[in-house]
Amino acid sequence: MSSANPASLRTTTESRPVRYALTALALAFVVLFLVIPLVSVFWEAFSKGWGLYREALVEPEALSAIRLTLLTALIAVPFNVVFGVAAAWAIARFEFRGKSLLTTLIDLPFSVSPVVAGMMYVLLFGINTPVGAWLDANGFKVIFAVPGIVLATVFVTFPFVARELIPLMQAQGADEEQAALVLGASGWQTFRRVTLPNIKWGLLYGVILTNARAMGEFGAVSVVSGHIRGETNTIPLHVEILYNEYNFVGAFASASILALLALVTLAAKTFVEWRMTRQHAAARTRTAEARAAA
């Protein structure tokens, strides 16, 4: 037996057929459950030609659904960025009473079913409740209107930014921020010049996840929307309605817009992930070096 056998350098010990079989299995799974459904969305959307596809998307109700979806994301994302950064900062940097409770609360939207989330808002703001009656008497519409859709979306996308930032900020440690404060920087300066650049990629990742979910949310939004065509239908709701109308081209055309948004999001996410891996590695090296120096 030669000790220079290249096979011994391999990390796997399985025979070639086993490895190929496992790879083929994994690939088949990906093709079957991800690629084929995705392709079929576009296939169905274009099944009756480009003209009908275009027509399905420039129809006023489709346009209004696209507009409402973008508007919802446009409000929900900045809101959750501000909240997520604040929460992550508090949790990663400070020790306080009720910290674990806060962490749990942030995770709540993950564990609550979106439909239940929507119903909570109906129970809270429905016209038969004190809050709902007061709002109605003062001319505010929350549920079955745009504010309710935004609220439900904010709720289901609540954890993404904070969940993304907390581990990152904990890994990075507070050393650099402490140094900035010692050198006389104000709190805001520290945040802008030190914290923000450090968490930049993690934050962006959180934003992308938030955005993807905000645009795609169905359950919670369906409960609070009221399904008024051209007014309170988002793209996912519009897709369902068209599908129920047997308008398959329209349904899949709208679905393809969602899928396109998802693909763009996915590309952005991959890029950000790649940057983040580098940043994590850099943070670890820096910490190690600093420890070694001390």
Partner 1 sequence: MKKTLSFSAVAVAFALAAPAWADVSLLNVSYDVMRDFYKDYNPAFQKAYKARTGETVTIQQSHGGSSKQALSVVNGLEADVITMNQASDIDLLADKGLVPANWQTRLANRSAPFTSVTVFIVRKGNPKGVRDWNDLVKPGVQVIIPNPKTTGNGRYTYLAAWGFSKTQPGGSDARARDYVARLFRNVPVLDAGGRAATTTFMQRQIGDVLVTFENEAEMIAREFGRGSFELVYPSATVLVEPPVSVVDKVVDKKGSRKVAEEYLKYLWSPEGQTIAAQNYLRPQDKAVAQKFNGQFPPVKTFTVEGVFGSWRAAMKTHFADGGVFDQIYTKK
Residues found near partner 1 in the complex (CB under 8 A): 64, 67-68, 70-71, 74-75, 78, 122, 125-128, 132, 136, 141, 143-144, 146, 226-231, 241, 244-246
Nearer to partner 1, 18 or 127 (CB): 127
Contact 238, 62 (CB under 8 A): yes
Q: Classify residue 77 as exposed, middle or buried by CB count within 10 Å of its CB (0-12, 13-18, 19+).
A: buried
Q: What are phi and psi of 270, to 5 degrees?
A: -60, -45
For the residues of 131-177, what is the DSSP string, one character each?
HHHHHHHTT---TTSHHHHHHHHHHHTTHHHHHHHHHHHHHH-SHHH
Shortest Cβ 62–partner 1 spacing (Å): 14
Shortest Cβ 135–partner 1 spacing (Å): 9
Nearer to partner 1, 100 or 128 (CB): 128
Shortest Cβ 288–partner 1 spacing (Å): 34
Shortest Cβ 35–partner 1 spacing (Å): 22
Nearer to partner 1, 61 or 107 (CB): 61
Shortest Cβ 194–partner 1 spacing (Å): 18
Longest CA–CA span in the chain (Å) reads 89
Nearer to partner 1, 73 or 156 (CB): 73
Nearer to partner 1, 173 or 226 (CB): 226
CA distances from 85 to 9, 31, 132, 189, 204 (A): 45, 37, 31, 15, 11
Nearer to partner 1, 91 or 149 (CB): 149
Contact 67, 229 (CB under 8 A): no
Nearer to partner 1, 147 or 173 (CB): 147
Nearer to partner 1, 77 or 166 (CB): 77
Shortest Cβ 151–partner 1 spacing (Å): 14
Terminal-residue alpha carbon distance, the chain: 49
Q: Which residues contact 156 (CB under 8 A, 6 or more apart)?
A: 109, 114, 117, 213, 217, 220
Token pair, residue 263, equals 């693909």
Shortest Cβ 224–partner 1 spacing (Å): 9
Task: Please report how the helices 159-172 and 99-111 are oriented relative to each other, as an axis angle in degrees rounded to 10.
Answer: 140
Shortest Cβ 242–partner 1 spacing (Å): 10
Token pair, residue 224, equals 């609070």
